[in-house]
Amino acid sequence: MKLNPGQNEAVNYISGPCLVLAGAGSGKTRVITNKIAYLVRQCDVPARYIAAVTFTNKAAREMKERVGQTLGKKEARGLKVSTFHTLGLNIIKSEVKTLGIKPGFSLFDDKDSLALLKDLTATELDGDKELLNLLQSRISSWKNDLILPENLAKTSLSASDAEFAEFYQRYHNNLRAYNALDFDDLILLPTLLLKSNETVRQKWQMKIRYLLVDEYQDTNTSQYELVRLLAGERARFTVVGDDDQSIYSWRGARPQNLVLLQKDFPSLRVIKLEQNYRSSGRILHCANILIQNNPHVFEKRLFSELSYGEPLKVIIAKNEEHEAERVVAEMLAHKFMNATHFKDYAILYRGNFQSRVFEKFLMSNRIPYKISGGMSFFGRTEVKDIMAYLRLLVNQDDDNALLRVINTPTRGIGRVSLEKLGNLANKNKLSMFAAAFDAQLQEHVSGKALVSIEQFSRWIVELSDQVHRGDGIATVRDMIKTMGYEEWLYETSTSPKAAEMAMGNISTLFGWISDMLEGTELDPPMSLQEVVNRLILRDMMERGEDQDESDQVQLMTLHASKGLEFPYVFMVGMEEGLLPHKSSIEEDNIDEERRLAYVGITRAQRNLFFTLVKERRQFGELINPEPSRFLYELPQDDVLWEHKKNKDSADVRQQKGQVGIANLRNMLAKK
Report, as residue numbers or ranges, the catalytic residues. 28-29, 214-215, 245, 603
Side chain identity, residue 200: V
Calpha distance 328→359 (Å, rounded)? 10
CB atoms inside a 10 Å sphere around CB 627: 17
Q: Which run of H or of E encompasses 272?
A: strand 269-273
> What is each CA distance from 344 to 328, 335, 566, 620, in whole angstroms?
14, 9, 6, 35
| Pairing relationship of beta strands 566-571 and 604-613 according to DSSP bridges | parallel
Question: Please, which residues have CB within 8 angstroms of residue 438's CB and are 6 or more apart in sequence?
Answer: 424, 428, 430
d(CA 139, CA 147): 9
Question: Cα(487)–Cα(485) distance, rounded to whole angstroms?
Answer: 6
What are the φ and ψ backbone dihedral angles of 483, each rounded to 5 degrees? -80, -10
Cα 350 to chain centroid distance, Å, stands at 18
- DSSP state letter for 575: B
Exposed, middle or buried, 199 (CB in 10 Å: 0-12/13-18/19+)? Answer: exposed
- Could you give the CA distance from residue 85 to residue 92 in angstroms, rounded to a whole number? 10
283 to 286, 289, 372, 600, 608: CA distances (angstroms): 5, 10, 24, 11, 8
Instruction: Compute CA distances 479 → 381, 388, 456, 459, 466, whole Å.
Output: 17, 12, 12, 9, 11
**DSSP labels for 624-667?**
-PPBPHHHHHS-GGGEEEGGGPPPPPHHHHHHHHHHHHHHHHHH
